[in-house]
Amino acid sequence: MKKTDSARDSLCLYKIDASDRIVEVDESWDRFALANQGTAMASKQVLGRELWQFITGEESLQIYRSLVDRVRGQKVAARFYFRCDAPECRRFMSMRIGLGADRSVYFASRIERIEPRSAVSLLDSAIVRDRRMVTVCSWCKAVKCESRWLPVEEAVERLGLFAQPSMPALSHGICESCHTTMENQLHW
């Protein structure tokens, strides 16, 4: 288990202000970002910027905006589950979004469990990328392969990515199953 996956680092907190700018991150934010090749996501790089700049994929962005609007409008917390995988592990996580003072919104992400696996180079942010593009579900990390969503390991094999000198770039979307789950979250 990597240092970033220890119990003390299983909770990551951040907050946006009423203008949706990231105004606060806790110390676990930087530990997690730096340990996972995410220097572009270090606190110095994100503080003061709009949250929406860091969420890719129109459907994902729409769902996050709807969740934040719901938290602010109805003054109720939202909670959902998602994956934040690394090349060598599956991280099953939960997120709680709640209302703070002055229409600020806080986000608390917690690692619920980790499953080690053989490294999947498609998920390695340091690997060379080419012009091809594959879509990954923002919530479950399934990969769109033709008209189906497959587990990342199966998609890598089906797409023949092991034999390629570089990996395709990643775009984010949402599979049908996760879309249904998240839509249900929006209609409690």
pLDDT in tens, 124-145: 877 888 898 999 999 999 999 9
Average pLDDT, the chain: 88
**Average of per-residue pLDDT across 66-82:** 93
Report for 1-5, 15-19, 77-81: range of highest mean pLDDT: 15-19
Instruction: Tell me: pLDDT of 2 over 50.
Output: no
pLDDT for 37: 63
1 has pLDDT over 60: no
Question: What tens digit of pLDDT does each residue of 98-121 get?
Answer: 999 999 999 999 999 999 999 998
Query: Greater confidence, 35 or 2?
Result: 35
CATH code of domain 3-186: 3.30.450.20
pLDDT tens digits for range 171-184:
899 999 999 998 88
Tokens for 59, please give them. Answer: 């459907």
